Amino acid sequence: MFEDLPISTQMGFWGLAIGIALGFVVHRTNFCAMGAVSDIVSFSDWRRMRAWVLAMAVGIIGSQLLYMGGYVALDHSIYLRPSLSLSGLVIGGLIFGFGMVLGGGCPGRNLMRVGNGDLKALVVLFFIGWAGYMTMRGVLYYPQSWVRDALVIDLKGWGLPDQGVGTILGAITGLEGAAMQMVAMLAIGGALAAFALKDAGFRRSPRHLAAGILLGLLVTLAWFATGYMGADDFEPAQVTALTFIAPTGDAFQYLMTWTGATINFGIATVGGVILGSFISSKMTKTFHLSTFVDTPDTVRNMVGGALMGFGGILALGCTFGQGITGISTLAIGSLLATAAIMAGGVLGVKYMERVLDI
């Protein structure tokens, strides 16, 4: 019965289920990439950052095993394109990272907060979707394209079919690409896992351990859903996993054009995260309505949402889209974008400390 449904509908069910699980996990574990950066800068607490790094490690190992097993064509994703926009990834990442601090968290975090009753997170999401859509197809398209095209490396000119670490290592060493992909998976995934787990305080924290492991597994499951379950000769689904910039804009458009629109995996995950967080908050009796503190708080969150929408499209993703999903493909661009997002987050935390006189 399920197999007889259109692929888009099947992907909608998969996206909803994975989104619900993600919203539940984020709410229960208090995972937040912005919080991870803030914890380090303000309190020298690395536990949430280690959870993020562990999610990267689990995502890399799980996704690469699917790729090497022939289940998911990661090389068909947007992350492994042979065109590497250094200006877009770095500048976009910095803008996004700064914006996520002003907006109280990344898009995934704000989706969770909406499910928990936070009305200002809903406003942030609107500005993320609004600015993101204008950047993809509206008045911000040309400014975005100017920045993106300012410094681009065409890897095809270097004889490289994609920007994967394994591909690059294979070209440098002259060894088989598949073997070097395995080496890259074990080296990078192992190093990230070792960094996350070497801290005794982190290992003794079930909440942070669960966040890292489960988020990495959900990214792997999302790749499997779109890359394997969504494979179809006539109506193939886009090979992707968890990302929330473009899907947030798509979700708003979907709600406005319901009768003539088609759901996809990304739209369904957006709704799923909100629903999963709502279920968790109701189960723990923590659901409560909240809103802005004052006018400056309102303006900061609106600006933060707009910056995330613009920067996220420019950087090809957010803390989930690049920071876990993109990194799981072992793409050089994802590593650069994630580093830029973290740097932008540090700048944002420093700015907020100065503004709020903390």
- Give the pLDDT of residue 1: 54
Q: What is the pLDDT of residues 221-271, one digit of tens each?
A: 999 999 998 877 677 778 999 999 999 999 999 998 887 778 899 999 999
Angle separating helix axes 47-68 and 206-224, nearest 10 degrees: 30
Cα separation of 115 and 19, whole Å?
12
- Give the pLDDT of residue 125: 96
Domain count, the chain: 1
- Give the pLDDT of residue 221: 97
Domain that holds residue 44: 2-356
pTM of the model: 0.94
Burial of 298 (0-12, 13-18, 19+ CB in 10 A): middle
CB–CB of 210/280 below 8 Å?
no
Angle separating helix axes 141-148 and 86-102, nearest 10 degrees: 130
The SS3 call for residue 83 is strand
Cα separation of 343 and 258, whole Å?
39
Give the phi and the psi of residue 332 in degrees, each rounded to 5.
-60, -40
CB–CB of 324/216 below 8 Å?
yes
CB–CB of 185/196 below 8 Å?
no
- What would the two tokens of residue 171 be? 């070209």
State the residue for tokens 């995330």.
308
Which parts of the chain have pLDDT scores under 50? none
